[in-house]
Structure 1
Amino acid sequence: GGVRGAGAFNPETPQSWGARGAGDFNSRTPQSWGAKLDPPQPPLIRGEPYSKSPLLRGEPYSKSPFFKGDLGGSQSLKTRPRGAKLAVTLLEHYGVIQTTALTKAVDQLAERGFLDKTKQKITIEFIRRWLIKRYPLQQEILELEKLGQEQTNPIYQQATTQYQQGEITKALGLYEQVLELNPNHFSAIFALAEGYLECGEFEKAVTYYQRAYKVDQIRNKDGLVRSLINYGNELIKQEAFTTATEQFNQVLNIEPDNLLAIEKLLEIENYLENSERLINNTYPSGMTGEFRDRSNPQNLSQGNWLGKLAAAVAIISLVGVAFYKVSTTCKPAEHKVFGIRTVATDSSQTNTSQSISRGDHSLFPRIDNKENIDRATEAFQNQNYNAAAQGFSQAWQANRNDPEFLIYYNNARARQQGLEPFTIAVVVPIDQSESRAKEILRGVAQAQHQFNNSEGLNGRFLEIAIANDGNDRDQAKTIAQTLVKDKSILGVIGHNSSDASKAALPQYDKAGLAMISSTSTSSDLTSRDDNRNVFFRTVPSNRALAKKLAKHVKTQPGLDKVVIFYDAHSVYSDSFREVFKTNFEDLGGKVFREIELNNPNLNITEQVRSLSQDQVKAAMLFPSVEYRFIALDIAKANANLNPNYKNPDQQPLRLFSGDTLYSEKNLKEGGQALEGLTMAVPWFRKAPDARNFSIAARELWQGEVNWRTATSFDATQAFIQALVQDADRKLVLNRLRNIKLLPNETSGLPLQFNNQGERESEPVLVEVLDGEFKLK
Structure 2
Amino acid sequence: MTTKQENIRLLASLGIAGVLVAVILGLVSKFSPEIQSTPNSMVTPRGSSRAPTPEWMSLGEKLLVTADKTDNKEAGVNAVKSGDFGTAVIKFQASLQTMRNDPETLIYLNNAKIANSKALKVGVIAPIGNSLNEAKETLRGVAQAQDEINNGGGINGVPLQLEISNLNSFDQLDKIDNELVKDANLVAVVGFGRNEELYKKNGLVRVSPGSSRNQMGQNQAQAYGDSKYVFNISPNREIFNQALAEYIVKKERRTNIAICRDTSFRTSQDTSNQDRSNQERLNQDIVKEYTEFITKAGGKVTATDCDLGAANFRANDVIPKAISDGAEALLLIPRTSSLNVAVDVARANRNRLTLFGSQQLYSERILKFGQGDIKGMVVPVPWHRDANRSMDKGNSFADRALKLWGGDVSPRTATAYDAMQVIIAGLKENSTRQGLQKVLSNPNFSAMGATGKIQFSASGQRQGGVFLARIEPCEPGKPCASSTGYNFVLVQ
TM-score by length of 2: 0.76
Whether the 8 Å contact between 1:431 and 1:468 is mirrored in structure 2 is yes
Aligned mates of 1:683, 1:735 — CA distance in 2: 25
Alpha-carbon distance, 1:741 to partner:
4.2
> What is the aligned counterpart of 1:563 among 250, 255, 259?
259
- Name the structure 2 match of 1:366: 67
- Structure 1 stretches of 4+ with a deviation exceeding 6 A read 195-198
Determine helix, strand or coil for the equivalent of 1:366: helix
Alpha-carbon distance, 1:508 to partner:
2.1
- Name the structure 2 match of 1:680: 380
Structure 1 residues 602 and 438, CA gap change in structure 2 (3 angstroms): farther
Whether the 8 Å contact between 2:149 and 2:160 is mirrored in structure 1 is yes
Determine helix, strand or coil for the equivalent of 2:418: helix
Structure 1 residues 520 and 754, CA gap change in structure 2 (3 angstroms): closer
Whether the 8 Å contact between 2:224 and 2:459 is mirrored in structure 1 is no
- Name the structure 2 match of 1:428: 126
- Name the structure 1 match of 2:13: none
Structure 1 residues 736 and 322, CA gap change in structure 2 (3 angstroms): closer
Whether the 8 Å contact between 2:72 and 2:91 is mirrored in structure 1 is yes
- Name the structure 2 match of 1:733: 437
- Post-superposition Cα deviations, 1:674-724, rounded to whole Å, max 9, x if no partner, equal 322211111211134475221111111111122222221111011011115
> What is the aligned counterpart of 1:751 among 435, 454, 457?
454
Aligned mates of 1:428, 1:571 — CA distance in 2: 28
- Post-superposition Cα deviations, 1:616-650, rounded to whole Å, max 9, x if no partner, equal 44333334xxx3241233223431345xxxxxxxx
- Name the structure 2 match of 1:86: none
Aligned mates of 2:59, 2:190 — CA distance in 1: 15
Alpha-carbon distance, 1:459 to partner:
3.6
Aligned mates of 1:669, 1:529 — CA distance in 2: 43
- Name the structure 1 match of 2:232: 537
**How high is the sequence identity, in percent, across the aligned residues?**
26
> What is the aligned counterpart of 1:324 among 45, 49, 55?
45
Whether the 8 Å contact between 1:422 and 1:461 is mirrored in structure 2 is yes
- Name the structure 1 match of 2:294: 584
Determine helix, strand or coil for the equivalent of 2:243: helix
What amino acid maps onto 1:457 in structure 2? I
Determine helix, strand or coil for the equivalent of 2:113: helix
- Post-superposition Cα deviations, 1:304-351, rounded to whole Å, max 9, x if no partner, equal xxxxxxxxxxxxxx9xx9972998xxxxxxx8446xxxxxxxxxxx7x
What amino acid maps onto 2:175 in structure 1? T
Determine helix, strand or coil for the equivalent of 1:383: coil
Alpha-carbon distance, 1:505 to partner:
2.8
Whether the 8 Å contact between 2:141 and 2:416 is mirrored in structure 1 is yes
Alpha-carbon distance, 1:363 to partner:
2.0
What amino acid maps onto 1:394 in structure 2? A
- Name the structure 1 match of 2:205: 514
Aligned mates of 1:571, 1:414 — CA distance in 2: 48
Aligned mates of 2:88, 2:280 — CA distance in 1: 41
Aligned mates of 1:384, 1:378 — CA distance in 2: 9
Confirm or deny that 1:635 pairs with 2:343.
yes
Alpha-carbon distance, 1:376 to partner:
1.2
Aligned mates of 2:281, 2:88 — CA distance in 1: 41
Determine helix, strand or coil for the equivalent of 2:332: strand
Whether the 8 Å contact between 2:377 and 2:471 is mirrored in structure 1 is yes
Structure 1 residues 591 and 452, CA gap change in structure 2 (3 angstroms): farther
- Name the structure 2 match of 1:180: none
Structure 1 residues 361 and 699, CA gap change in structure 2 (3 angstroms): same
Confirm or deny that 1:621 pairs with 2:332.
yes
- Post-superposition Cα deviations, 1:476-529, rounded to whole Å, max 9, x if no partner, equal 23222221222222212112xxxxx4x343432332321211123528845165
Q: How does 1:622-701 map to 2 (within 5 A)?
A: 622-623=333-334, 627-642=335-350, 652-689=352-389, 692-701=396-405
Confirm or deny that 1:478 pairs with 2:175.
yes
Alpha-carbon distance, 1:654 to partner:
3.1
Unaligned runs of 5+ in 1: 1-172, 177-192, 202-229, 231-317, 328-334, 339-349, 496-500, 643-650
Alpha-carbon distance, 1:549 to partner:
0.5
Whether the 8 Å contact between 1:608 and 1:634 is mirrored in structure 2 is no
- Post-superposition Cα deviations, 1:222-279, rounded to whole Å, max 9, x if no partner, equal xxxxxxxx9xxxxxxxxxxxxxxxxxxxxxxxxxxxxxxxxxxxxxxxxxxxxxxxxx
Aligned mates of 1:402, 1:532 — CA distance in 2: 37
> What is the aligned counterpart of 1:393 among 87, 93, 105?
93
Aligned mates of 2:235, 2:331 — CA distance in 1: 19
Aligned mates of 2:148, 2:317 — CA distance in 1: 50
Whether the 8 Å contact between 2:308 and 2:342 is mirrored in structure 1 is no
Aligned mates of 1:677, 1:740 — CA distance in 2: 36
Root mean square deviation, CA, Å: 3.4
Aligned mates of 2:468, 2:226 — CA distance in 1: 33
Determine helix, strand or coil for the equivalent of 1:354: coil
Determine helix, strand or coil for the equivalent of 2:420: helix
Structure 1 residues 702 and 751, CA gap change in structure 2 (3 angstroms): same
What amino acid maps onto 1:664 in structure 2? E
Alpha-carbon distance, 1:591 to partner:
5.2
Aligned mates of 2:457, 2:342 — CA distance in 1: 38
Aligned mates of 1:733, 1:761 — CA distance in 2: 21
Confirm or deny that 1:713 pairs with 2:417.
yes
- Name the structure 2 match of 1:463: 161
Q: Could you say which structure has the higher helix fraction? A: 1
Aligned mates of 2:177, 2:406 — CA distance in 1: 33
Q: How does 1:108-507 map to 2 (within 5 A)?
A: 324=45, 336-337=50-51, 353-366=54-67, 369=70, 371-416=71-116, 418-419=117-118, 421-470=119-168, 472-495=169-192, 501=193, 503-507=194-198
Confirm or deny that 1:763 pairs with 2:463.
no
Alpha-carbon distance, 1:391 to partner:
1.7
- Name the structure 1 match of 2:477: none
Alpha-carbon distance, 1:575 to partner:
5.2
Structure 1 residues 488 and 572, CA gap change in structure 2 (3 angstroms): farther
- Post-superposition Cα deviations, 1:575-598, rounded to whole Å, max 9, x if no partner, equal 544432321222342253575555
Unaligned runs of 5+ in 2: 1-22, 266-278, 474-485
Give the count of matched residue pairs: 424
Aligned mates of 2:43, 2:464 — CA distance in 1: 42
Question: In terms of Rg, which structure is larger?
Answer: 1
TM-score by length of 1: 0.50
Determine helix, strand or coil for the equivalent of 2:123: strand
- Name the structure 1 match of 2:483: none
Alpha-carbon distance, 1:766 to partner:
0.5
Whether the 8 Å contact between 1:427 and 1:469 is mirrored in structure 2 is yes
Whether the 8 Å contact between 1:547 and 1:580 is mirrored in structure 2 is yes
Alpha-carbon distance, 1:199 to partner:
5.0
Structure 1 residues 424 and 665, CA gap change in structure 2 (3 angstroms): farther
Aligned mates of 2:32, 2:80 — CA distance in 1: 18
